[in-house]
Amino acid sequence: MGLRTLPGNPEIPLKLRKNARARRMTLRISRVDGSVTLTVPRGVSEREALAFAAEQQDWVRGHLAKQAAQVLVSPGHDLTVAGQRFALVQGTSKRLRAGNGVIELPEPVEKGRRHLLAWLKEQARAELSRASDRYSAQLGKPYTRLTLRDTRSRWGSCSSAGALMYSWRLVLAPPRVLDYVAAHEVAHLAEMNHSPAFWRVVEQLYGPHKDARVWLRHEGPHLHRFRFEA
């Protein structure tokens, strides 16, 4: 049904989605980007749907207010990378320099953000390759390739061909969480499902994983608050 808005100050973008299998109207707020989706069953008019959303407006605004504000990274901010806290400062070199808890960004600011993003992806590849290699060796099953993306709906995936994909933003999470995601995806090399057998493989590789899963559920969305373009 497309994109609509809830009136107010400010207006709230609203995605209307028709689902023939839905039994009732439901509102969902993404924990990742704050997008609001209204799902409606067949036979419900757009007018009825928008009236329902308007009735729930206070609930929607309350949840949106609780979500983490977006951060355009700049000198003066801090970032935790692979478990180490770094202060971002304006450097004098043409290249990014990192060490001793400080990341010096080149000028101008826009260039500094691009260099920082590239550096973070390099760190993410190194950390995720390390973890994936270790768990793959433990399992005795090699993966075919490893790619990074800025995914919104999942932290990682494993294809039937053995290709691993991860969100580069995992490098901003605690190392134990990054390791858990790597173990989870590598476990799919043995079990392409989420059966009890799969979870036994995850525990065999990683150990108890409840805490890491809880962290991702509650804190993971905050990793998406960091922006690198104005």
27 vs 225: CA distance, rounded Å: 22
Q: With helix as H, strand as E and coil as C, how does 17-36 read? A: EECCCCCCCEEEECCCCCCE
pLDDT-derived band at 57, boundaries 50, 70, 90: confident
Number of continuous H segments (helices) and E segments (strands) in the chain:
6, 13
Q: How far apart are CA 107 and CA 218, in angstroms?
A: 35
Within a 10 A sphere around the Cβ of 195, how many other Cβ atoms?
Answer: 10
What is the pLDDT confidence band of residue 166, given thresholds at 50, 70 and 90? very high
Give the residue-averaged pLDDT of 54-82: 86
Radius of gyration from C-alpha coordinates of the chain: 21
pLDDT at 230: 75
Q: Confidence band (pLDDT; 50, 70, 90) for 68?
A: low
Q: What is the mean pLDDT of residues 69-96?
A: 94
pLDDT at 178: 98
- pLDDT number for residue 9: 66
Question: CB-based contacts of 24: which residues, under 8 Å, 6+ apart?
Answer: 41
Q: Where in the chain is the domain with CATH 3.30.2010.10?
A: 72-227
Note the residue count of the chain. 230
User: How many angstroms separate the CA atoms of 139 and 198, rounded?
Assistant: 12
- pLDDT exceeds cutoff 80 at 225: yes
The answer for residues whose C-beta is within 8 angstroms of residue 70's C-beta and 6 or more apart is 225, 227
Unique residue bearing structure tokens 């409606």:
40
> So what's the pLDDT on residue 126?
98
> What pLDDT digit, counting tens, does each position of 110-128 carry?
999 999 999 999 999 999 9
In the three-class reduction of DSSP (H, G, I as helix; E, B as strand; rest coil), residue 81 is classed as: strand
Contact between 159 and 114 under an 8 Å Cβ cutoff? The reply is no
Average pLDDT over residues 62-77: 82
d(CA 94, CA 107): 7
Mean pLDDT value across residues 208-213: 96
- When pLDDT is cut at 50, 70 and 90, the band that residue 1 belongs to is low
Domain 72-227 of CATH type 3.30.565.10 = no
Q: What's the whole-number mean pLDDT along residues 121-136?
A: 98
Diameter of the chain measured on Cα atoms: 63
Q: Is the pLDDT of residue 8 over 90?
A: no
Given this model, what pLDDT does residue 193 score?
94
pLDDT band at 155 (very low <50, low <70, confident <90, very high): very high
Q: pLDDT band at residue 2, thresholds of 50, 70 and 90?
A: confident
Structure tokens at 142: 């090699």
pLDDT for 63: 77
Q: Which tokens is 78 given?
A: 């801090």
Question: Does residue 16 have a pLDDT over 70?
Answer: yes
Say yes or no to pLDDT of 223 above 70.
Answer: yes
Structure tokens at 145: 């390739």
**Residue 5: CB partners within 8 Å, gap ≥ 6?**
11, 12, 13, 14
Task: Report the candidate in 223, 143, 123, 154 with the shortest Cα–Cα distance to residue 187.
Answer: 143
